[in-house]
Amino acid sequence: MANITKKVSWSGRGEDRGERTPLLNGAEDGKYNRQDFVRSRPKEIPHNEKLLSLKYESLDYDNSENQLFLEEERRMSHMGFRCLEIRRWVICGLIGFFTGLIACMIDIAVEKLAGIKYSVVKKNIEKFTEHGGLSISLILWAVLNSAFVMVGAIAVAFIEPIAAGSGIPQIKCYLNGVKIPRVVRLKTLVVKVFGVICSVAGGLAVGKEGPMIHSGAVVAAGVSQGRSTSLKKDLKMFEYFRRDTEKRDFVSAGAAAGVSAAFGAPVGGVLFSLEEGASFWNQMLTWRIFFASMVSSFTLNFFLSIYHGKPGELSSPGLINFGRFDGDTVQYNIYEIPLFIIIGALGGMLGALFNLLNNWLTIFRIRYIHRPCLQVMEAMLVAAVTATVSFAMIYFSNDCQPLGPDHSEEYPLQLFCADGEYNSMATAFFNTPERSVRSLFHNPPGTYNPVTLGVFTLAYFFLAVWTYGLTVSAGVFIPSLLIGAAWGRLFGILLSVIASSQPSWADPGKYALMGAAAQLGGIVRMTLSLTVILVEATGNVTYGFPIMLVLMTAKIVGDYFVEGLYDIHIKLQSVPFLHWEAPATSHWLTAREVMSSPVTCFNRVEKVGTIVDVLSNTSTNHNGFPVVTHTTGHDEPGKICGLILRSQLIVLLKHKVFVERASSRLIQRKLQLKDFRDAYPRFPPIQSIHVSQDERECMMDLTEFMNPTPYTVPQETSLPRVFKLFRALGLRHLVVVDDENRVVGLVTRKDLARYHIGKDGLEELHLAQT
């Protein structure tokens, strides 16, 4: 972790591919490895977390209000805006519907596949328990697990590496305004869904919730644009929404719909989307997000109710993810408050430990495990080890419990227990993690042996740490909840032993819930949205207050040690992520120090050759160019009169919107906003556009296409002030001007993101072309 220059695999590849794939979660770009790395095949990829990558581009949340745009808006009647608004609602409805459908599909597929697997293994175990030779069962189990995981990992590693992990860090970045390439493509969605089914069915310590959230975001990006690049299909619908501003709003809705489907928590979904992503809170937008959320959870519940054989019963308790906490047993007392705080603190510490271990592991992965084959092998290894550990624990535990008539276990393993009894360790391991959480929450007191729970917590903790960051599509929510539920229940059992006189309040299920909240809170550090998600997922409001308390404590304690898991992964990938506020002690800095300069500017009427040369310059690779009035002096910067984007220039070049020097103002073709929208979001690289020598001598009039009123700040503006403007409006470029309105610098995302509070006060990250 010393100051080694970071050379991750996608570095230094010029602009020929148009898009690069800097990946989160330690997964690497498969293609690149195979093509270019074969020759050198470095054993180690050095990594330094004090870097900020220059390779990420920003989304533009600020509309480019050029003449074309304004003309279109002005042509539109009030009725036209109404129709647009209705279309937005329709899109949100569709987003919710498809997200719910996909979530339902994942749910059912996982349940079916896991059911088949566990039945086969159970039969096998039962067979060999009598005859001896259980090692064959172990091998069967391990092989089955590895096979599932292998298929999933191959899909992820070789087809779409961005689909690795939970997807939440990527969505967080996207909503923050960082363009993560390929993150919202249809191909990613397919791989993600396929991958998560494999990895959950493969018995890994993973959940399907994160991928559902990512799926929602992809669905949103696809539906709102009315076309798919992967399918090469353009429905010619919703063309108005083909810009970053609108797309980002819909992706928020998609993420919310994903949460809503994953946990059955529509309000939690809205809050998640706001807590993680949004900055400017707009009432109408929030309502649309809410609507998408609502439709998504409705769709999921509707189809699941059919699947469960109770069509139309939308309020069936079986649809509540973690089981409904019953009205009578649900209570707590004021003297339990300190206990909840202790649980929260414990969760914060365990969460920090989890994050720290996973941080080291991820750095190790970035350095050494960057080839797809290795990644697949690691995933298979983890799957096999998970099966082995589970098997060993079940084998060596002799915690037999009577099998009641109303037992909730799907696959009770008798193993060495007496008839009519089952192995209780098996209920924890021999099950999908979601079901295990449910058992821990709701099984009556006495179901679990404290030793079993302790050993399980320990084993599962390390398995989960190892698993998160593998090249498989998988989430961390459910494993975290499971770890927490296990030690929370243990805590509850110990309490009831201590306070044996009053066993009624020390309900182990309640403490399992609190532990689950604490552990998850300690790992991901969400508070408001997580409270609501847990309340909605358990169908119970009464525990809302203790859950809040636990989550708050977990966050405060956890933050003392290390950041949240998602933030760690974002940082490890050197993403220029903008936090909510500028670092506290940054009033020393002004725009003058922060900005990049000198700035490449264009004249209002510029020579085509100049533009092509600037755009082709790979060493700078700017994306936004201030347009200035022509000045006489060469050294003196020009007065700002607009801002034009690389993407706009490329469309202009492609359509050859040139003015010949002699016959002034002879534009061959009138460009429309539609041309820009058709090219969005994958504008061709400059190299693909051929400009002849004659054309290089032509001029281009940018007046009509540039944004004539970019936001500007004076040089003396303090960093927090610049930051606030930039963040609140979701800008991509902020022009710094002197008191004559002459361009002196440009502030972009990386200029702001590189300042952060370190141990010795304000630190500056290095920028790197990695």
Instruction: Pick the stretch among 96-104, 109-117, 192-200, 293-301 that binds a copy of itself (CB under 8 A).
Output: 293-301
What's the CA gap between 27 and 48, in Å, rounded?
16
Rounded CA separation 23/180 (Å): 8
Tell me which H or E stretch contains 421: strand 421-423
765 backbone φψ class: left, alpha, beta (φ>0; ψ -120 to 50):
beta
- The sign one gets for the Cα dihedral 465, 466, 469, 475 is negative
DSSP class of residue 334? G
Binding mask 561-590 for a copy of itself (x = CB under 8 A): -------------------xx--xx-xx--
Q: Assess 234 for contact with a copy of itself (CB under 8 A).
A: no
- The CB-side HSE value for 373 (13 A sphere, CA atoms) comes to 2
The answer to whether 314 contacts a copy of itself (rule: CB under 8 A) is yes
Residue 567: count other Cβ atoms within 10 Å of its Cβ. Answer: 17
State the minimum distance, in angstroms, from the CB of residue 475 to a copy of itself: 22
Q: Indicate which single residue of 431, 531, 574, 748 sits in contact with a copy of itself (rule: CB under 8 A).
A: 531
Enumerate residues 376-415 that contact a copy of itself by CB under 8 A. none
Angle, vertex CA 738, rays to CA 732 and CA 740, nearest 5: 120
Q: How far is the CB of 201 from a copy of itself (least distance, A)?
A: 30
| 24, 114, 200, 535: which one binds a copy of itself (CB under 8 A) | 535
Q: Which is nearer to a copy of itself, 221 or 549 (CB)?
A: 549
**How many residues can be counted in the chain?**
770
Among 15, 65, 111, 704, binds a copy of itself (CB under 8 A): 65
- Can you read off the two tokens belonging to residue 706? 């540039």
Instruction: Report the nearest approach of a copy of itself to the CB of residue 96 (Å).
Output: 12
Phi, psi (degrees; rounded to nearest 5) at 401: -125, 145
Q: Can residue 757 be called a binding residue for a copy of itself (CB under 8 A)?
A: yes
**Cβ 632 to a copy of itself shortest distance, Å:** 16
Residues 630-659 close enough to bind a copy of itself by CB under 8 A: 639-641
Q: Are strands 602-603 and 624-628 parallel, antiparallel or unpaired?
A: parallel
Whether the Cβ atoms of residue 710 and residue 748 lie closer than 8 Å to each other: no
- Gyration radius (Cα) of the chain, Å: 28
Question: Going by C-beta distance under 8 Å and a sequence separation of 6 or more, which residues neighbour residue 674?
Answer: 239
Least distance (Å) from a copy of itself to the CB of residue 537? 9
- Our CB check for a copy of itself shows the closer of 86 and 235 to be 86
86 binds a copy of itself per the rule CB under 8 A: no
Applying CB under 8 A, which of residues 140, 330, 342, 458 lies at the interface with a copy of itself? 330
Instruction: Tell me which of 97, 141, 272, 302 binds a copy of itself, using CB under 8 A.
Output: 302
Q: Is 501 in the site for a copy of itself (CB under 8 A)?
A: no
Name the minimum Å distance from CB 555 to a copy of itself: 8
Does 324 bind a copy of itself (CB under 8 A)? Our answer is yes
The residue from 545, 600, 621, 767 that contacts a copy of itself (CB under 8 A) is 545
- The count of chain residues that interact with a copy of itself, using the rule CB under 8 A, is 91
Using rule CB under 8 A, residue 153 touches a copy of itself = no
68 lines the binding site for a copy of itself (CB under 8 A): no
Task: Check residue 680 for interaction with a copy of itself (CB under 8 A).
Answer: no
Task: Please say which residue, 585 or 769, places its beta carbon nearer to a copy of itself.
Answer: 585
Q: Does 36 bind a copy of itself (CB under 8 A)?
A: no
- The number of C-alpha atoms within 13 Å of 101 and in the hemisphere containing its C-beta is 7
Q: Name beta bridge partners: 768.
A: 53
Under the binding rule (CB under 8 A), the answer on residue 19 touching a copy of itself is: no
Measured from the CB atom, the residue of 97 and 487 that comes closer to a copy of itself is 97
**From CA 201, how far away is CA 383, in angstroms rounded?**
11
- State which of positions 692-721 bind a copy of itself (CB under 8 A): 708-709, 711-714, 716-718, 721
Contacting range for a copy of itself; rule: CB under 8 A; set: 151-159, 286-294, 347-355, 570-578: 286-294
Residues 185-224 contacting a copy of itself, CB under 8 A: none
Question: Applying CB under 8 A, does 274 fall inside the site for a copy of itself?
Answer: yes
Nearest to 507, CA basis, from 361, 333, 736, 634 = 333
From 477, 572, 523, select the one nearest 352 (Cα to Cα): 523
Show Cβ contacts of residue 766 under 8 Å, excluding neighbours closer than 6 positions: 48, 50, 51, 52, 754
| Cα distance between residue 346 and residue 558, in whole Å | 9
In this complex, which beta carbon is closest to a copy of itself, that of residue 376 or of residue 713? 713
